[in-house]
Amino acid sequence: MDSFKALLIEERDGQVVSGITRFEKSALDAGEVTIRVAYSSVNYKDALAATGTGKIIRRFPCIGGIDLSGIVIDSTDPRFKAGDQVIATSFDIGVAHHGGYAEIARVPADWVVPLPSGLSLYEAMALGTAGFTAALAIVRMEENRLTPAKGSVIVTGATGGVGSLAVDMLAAIGYHVVALTGKESEAEYLRSLGAAEVMLRQSIDLTKIRPLDRGRWAGAVDNLGGDILAWIASTMEQGGTIASIGLAASMKLNTTVAPFILRGVSLLGIDSGYIREPYRTGVWQRLAGDLRPPHLASMSRKISFEELPATFDEYIAGRAKGRVVVELAGG
């Protein structure tokens, strides 16, 4: 196959535009592993990139899609061979290196992970960067000695891809999960994933955040940043652990050192984009094992390649829920 279908993101007259086109295999970026893409997925970052809403793309033109799963066509790296089922997520994929919204991809071998036993290519993309991020947050909090016995864990942005998966995973391994959302209509959905409590963001007065408030959380997975993260820090219990994984509300953090020096709160930055081995393969192994979300099938849906543009609009408008898998070659 000398040319193939791809979603190409370009800059024209200062505007970011994207569309499905034919792309030449010879024009793919350098890399040791060439993959026939079975599935990709949709993340908020993908929508920002393809619509130009966020300054995500670092090089134009670029095939979008930060996630992909598929079958190796050929490899010059001995770790992989033709026919291997593999996953590639994050790093520069889809932002500065041609990505997963294409029938063929070529990437550096260090960005590729063997598909773990127990996961299908479809399930790997139902998880994707969102699942990897949620699982990495849990792994890092566990390393900081968080256990279910220590108390409740709050998950913000709980109806989004990362949030939904974090709720599902944490509940499945025994945590009392409090799901924080601005969408009252999604309360039952969150309870169906295992949330013991659903808290509405509107119930928090973010104009009256104290340096230290009543301790409520042993752990927190925060997708939002900004004032919500500041409020979480002020309401952590002694020795609590916060995993900061997103900035959907704001990149800014207006807080004090009080939670950190008076309560021993830990704020962990979760870098799912560039973290390397042994974490990367290890986290994927956990996703195929004890961190496999029990409701993964019900929280994910499959779309065709042609449905991508409309799906991006859903994400930008804040209407996205759960996980969206994009079918390319299938498998």
CATH code assigned at 238: 3.40.50.720
Mean per-residue pLDDT pooled into runs of 10, the chain (331 residues): 93 94 97 98 94 92 98 98 97 97 98 97 97 98 98 96 96 98 96 98 96 98 97 98 94 96 98 92 97 96 95 89 92 70
Are 103 and 11 in the same domain?
yes
Tell me whether residue 123 is in a domain.
Answer: no
Q: Quick check: is 274 in a domain? A: no
pLDDT of residue 318: 81
Local structure of residue 169 (DSSP, 8 states): H
Cα 262 from Cα 146, distance rounded (Å)? 18
Closest Cα partner for 321 from 294, 291, 298, 305? 298
Same domain, yes or no, for 141 and 262? yes
Same domain for 73 and 26? yes
- Partners of 9 in beta bridges: 18, 62
Alpha-carbon distance values, 160 to 111, 151, 176, 224, 276 (Å): 25, 23, 19, 11, 25
133 and 109 belong to one structural domain: no
Helix or strand holding residue 36 (H, E):
strand 33-42
Query: Is the residue at 164 inside a domain?
Result: yes
pLDDT at 221: 98
The whole-model pTM stands at 0.94
Domain end position, chosen among 230, 253, 269? 269
Q: Are residues 108 and 135 in the same domain?
A: no
Q: Are 272 and 138 in contact (CB under 8 A)?
A: no
Last residue of a domain, one of 234, 252, 269: 269
> Torsion-angle region of residue 65: left (phi > 0), alpha (psi -120 to 50) or beta?
left
Full domain range(s) for residue 30:
3-115+295-327
Q: Are 270 and 133 in contact (CB under 8 A)?
A: yes
Structure token pair of residue 240: 């609590």
pLDDT at residue 54, rounded to an integer: 85
DSSP assigned state of 171: H
Q: Judge whether 177 lies within some domain.
A: yes
Q: Report pLDDT for 248.
A: 84
Q: Are residues 301 and 194 in the same domain?
A: no
Q: Are residues 46 and 99 in the same domain?
A: yes
Q: What is the pLDDT of residue 42?
A: 96
